[in-house]
Amino acid sequence: MTRFYNKFLAAASAMMLTLTGCVNEDSPCPGDGDDGTKVTLQFTVMTYNPAASREAQQSRADGSLLSRAGADDDCSEGPQGSPAENYINTADCQFLLFGADRTLLRPIFPEITGQDNVYYTWYSIKASITEPYFDEAVKAGDENINFYIMVIANSHSTGLDGQYPGLTPGVTTIDDIAAQCVTFRQPEGYHLGGPGGEYRPWTPSIDGNRLIPMAGMQKFTVSAAQLKESTYDVPVNLSDENANGKNIKMLRAISKIEVIDRIDVTGPATNNNRFHVDKVELFGWYNSGTIMPYINNGNWSTATGEWSMDSSGDVSVPTISPQSEYKFPVIGEQQKTDNNGKPLYNDDRTPLMDEIKGPEITFSEDAAATALRTDKCIVWSGYVVEYSKVLVTEMTHDYERYPFIEVTVSNPNSDGKDDSPVFKMKLANYNNGQAVDDGINFLLRNHIYRYEITGVNSEANIIDVGYTVCDWDRHEVDIPTFN
């Protein structure tokens, strides 16, 4: 059992405040409020969204559309999130309590009383709180006491320089926290043991402490009687399904792009005697993402108390920090040369030019996602912060500006020669196997963007692509009842 208390040993207290990010020098953490009514709340934090109903945007390379409920729907092949993609470091969480007016009452320091130890899809939380807001409501006998709980997780334990927001109880509001746009770095590859070591693309890892930043929030309503009768052993269960309870659904602060190698696959996938993908790289990306999504007051749903969202229960617009820098996919051009360094020319004797690309994000073979596929086609995955085409369009730039993916393919008929054609695939919507526009409008947090490569033609430099957008994790889990 993991416990967090705001009264702790002196040395541990300092460490805990740093881990939870609940204070800075301008926002002291409140005392535990010994005077008044102590209430105990229990709720469930979930790293999946079982209520997601977004109609998946999908098309096969042949142009046929996929139904979300169809047998061939890539969004329904089981759990979308691997254990490492779902995992929350419970020693690196911030739990914030807000009143009905959305103003911060205090950080709270709960204990984790249970969790899914297989996929890490849920965490049961219990908190005993002495808070004047609740004390006054209990004394007044209020029947509808409204409050919000916000959870921010994995900010410090990602290795991505994540931040927690600055807080002042009684002053800071939910909207203030979102407006701070606290950030973390775009995950990039690393070298084992430092420079010169083997290069590894960034992937989430529980043992490696490479975790995905997340945030979630929910509005709850209880009665004075429920609070007054609550005890540590019999808390108010805010997530009780039998009493119209609600969970706190966490949103991963990044998107996931998957490139699926189905080149000429007609049965169980193998790399024998067929073109197959050897490398996947993304060009064009922001160098930081925001842990919190943007809150649009015009679209805010006070009935549910969740983020600005569409009908699926997920965010509908990307959140880009003003401090985030966009890394253009192409930053210049230079004349091509042959293997001996001799300049090359076109037939009309004009220089044959080649683009100079910006920095890349390298994808990795995703064993967990591959294992979920019935055809066992290899999935290449990259983890990318949110993106906005509108913002990139407004930037001044002389070369190609919209993101694209380079797919390096191995030729089975190369006879030992170095013959690995590279195909350029726009990060775009696809129909009939081809891009239908000059770039995708946005990448959204907590979504998977799947590109299924079904065929290549190296002579014509053509790549056939199917396209799918999924909510990141939509599956049912069994949450036991806690007494």
Query: How far, in Å, CA of 376 to CA of 363, rounded?
Result: 18
Q: Are strands 276-283 and 404-410 parallel, antiparallel or unpaired?
A: antiparallel
pTM of the full structure: 0.83
Q: What does 239-302 look like in DSSP terms, one character per residue?
A: T-GGGT---EE-EESSEEEEEEE-TT-SSS---TTS-EEEEEEEE-EESEEESSPP--GGG--T
Instruction: Classify burial at 262, counting beta carbons within 10 Å of its beta carbon; exposed 0-12, middle 13-18, buried 19 or more.
Output: buried
pLDDT of residue 346: 92
> Is the separation of the CB atoms in 332 and 355 below 8 Å?
yes
Query: How far, in Å, CA of 351 to CA of 346, rounded?
Result: 6
339 contacts: CB under 8 Å, gap ≥ 6: none
How large is the C-alpha radius of gyration of the chain?
25
* 10 phi and psi angles, rounded to 5 deg: -55, -45
Query: How far, in Å, CA of 25 to CA of 166, rounded?
Result: 9
DSSP 35: S
Listed as own residue / partner, the contacts of 389-393 with beta carbons closer than 8 Å and 24 or more positions apart are: 389/439, 389/440, 389/441, 389/442, 390/441, 391/320, 391/326, 392/284, 392/326
Q: What does 144-173 look like in DSSP terms, one character per residue?
A: -EEEEEEEEESSSTTSS--------TTT-B
> Is the separation of the CB atoms in 446 and 213 below 8 Å?
no
DSSP 197: S
User: Residue 57 forms beta bridges with which residues?
Assistant: 469
In the chain, what are the helix, strand and coil shares in percent, each to the nearest 5? 10, 35, 55
235: tokens are 């808390």
> Is the separation of the CB atoms in 390 and 437 below 8 Å?
no
Query: How far, in Å, CA of 61 to CA of 58, rounded?
Result: 10
DSSP 103: B
Query: How far, in Å, CA of 421 to CA of 459, rounded?
Result: 9
pLDDT of residue 30: 43
Query: How far, in Å, CA of 125 to CA of 447, rounded?
Result: 26
> Is the separation of the CB atoms in 176 and 9 below 8 Å?
no
The three-state (H, E, C) secondary structure of 442-464, written as one string = EECCCEEEEEEEEEEECCCCEEE
pLDDT of residue 358: 96
pLDDT of residue 416: 57
For residue 68, the surrounding DSSP H or E stretch is: none
Query: How far, in Å, CA of 24 to CA of 7, rounded?
Result: 18
286 contacts: CB under 8 Å, gap ≥ 6: 186, 320, 324, 325, 326, 327, 385, 386, 387
pLDDT of residue 24: 34
449 contacts: CB under 8 Å, gap ≥ 6: 255, 256, 257, 258, 427, 440, 443, 467, 468, 469
pLDDT of residue 12: 35
Mean pLDDT for each 10-residue chunk of the chain (483 residues)? 34 36 36 69 84 42 33 49 93 96 95 92 95 95 94 90 94 92 94 86 94 93 95 96 88 95 75 83 97 63 37 70 96 90 91 93 95 90 97 95 95 68 90 84 92 83 83 46 31
